[in-house]
Amino acid sequence: MQNNASSTPPQPLAGLRVVEFTHMVMGPTCGMLLADMGAEVIKVEPIDGDRTRHLLGAGAGFFPLFNRNKKSIGIDLRDPAGAEVARRLCASADVVAENFKPGTMAKYGLDYAALSAANPRLIYASHKGFLPGPYDQRTALDEVVQMMGGLAYMTGRPGDPLRAGSSVNDIMGGMFGAIGVLGALIQRGISGKGMEVQSALFENNVFLVGQHMLQYAITGQPAAPMPDRISAWGVYDVFSVKDGEQIFLAAVSDAQWAAFCDALGFADLKADARYAGNNQRVTERPTLLPLLRERLALRSASELVALFEAAGLPFAPIRKPEELYDDEHLLATGGLADITLPDGERAGQTAKTTLLPLTMDGERLKVRMNPPRLGEHTRELLAGLGYGDEDIERLHRKAAVS
């Protein structure tokens, strides 16, 4: 495709070649971040394709979201000729990224030790379930580490652990992999040598709950699950309002509490000494919140949005993901971009995807290439490695590449 925007955002990684052996979310996220910043990212897929191309339900968005701006080559690594293609491809790379079980890449001579021996400048990003240690042979999923790492406990109600509503560890694990790659690139510019970078789901999850661990270390009090926590602020809640709508409202300082009362005409609450300071309001939540819920139930969500926006107070309507396609801010700021879907019943049709949540030089990073069809760039890449037409046909006949 491609993007029709008149401005061209920076591509700080242009000229960098990344070869990724990834699937699902974690590894592809790392590659997508590098690709969005301008790197040439080559996705090596099995001959029958990345399984996420054909997932249903909650997995239907995995491939088109996390594999834009990439090229695809299908390689049968179990075929010696295919494994040789992969090794030649890696020899041309600045970065290799993978997220398979420990030992998988070594079977094909594609581990860091083998590849760096031939290419000392190589940066190798491994994305695993666990960093090396007692757990590193376990099979990990986002939900597995959320359960064992305290995040599901913190998200759900007491006695009802609940995973977060997105692939938070997969996505952040890929982000940390990309951050490690960027740091390794800077170091390579100084030393001339590459290095291996490792990122892991479990350690990512532990980082996410680190604030709750330190809460216990500092106070001696275990952190309660978020729905049952002792709030740090007196007003910081979801309220049910007129016509069954819900809205999140907050006042996290004494100045905001005064503005909250002024905006809503709650002069009596503003003057009540029991609610004068934030910590007093926290202590008095058992009396304060029922009063607020009773009064706010008479207001519409749209009225409260207008009042809180005018007063500069924190608020949020409760939205579903699909409703964000109509969000005026995203539409006005170019936070969504068109892609052509590569697979499934809607192959060839257009859908809108989310861009990275950052700007560079004032520009959002664009979709330069649609999520690739399986093996879409195989001939181009093989030719670039020095394979002639007859070699390519021979590899195709052997089904070593697609």
Phi, psi of 8 (to 5 degrees): -115, 115
Instruction: Count CA atoms closer than 13 A to 60's CA, side-chain side.
Output: 9
382: left (phi over 0), alpha (psi -120 to 50) or beta: alpha
Angle at alpha carbon of residue 63, lines to 145 and 88, rounded to 5°: 95
- Residues 188 and 379: their CA atoms lie apart, in Å, by 31
End-to-end CA distance of the chain: 22
CA distances from 275 to 230, 268, 278, 370, 398 (A): 17, 10, 7, 55, 77
Alpha helices by DSSP H, 284-369: 285-296, 301-311, 328-333
Residue 248 tokens, joined:
């999140």
Catalytic residue among 94, 111, 142, 170: 170
**Kind and range of the H or E run holding 353:** strand 350-354
Residue 34 tokens, joined:
């590098």
What DSSP character marks residue 199?
E
- 170: annotated active-site residue: yes
Catalytic (active-site) positions: 170
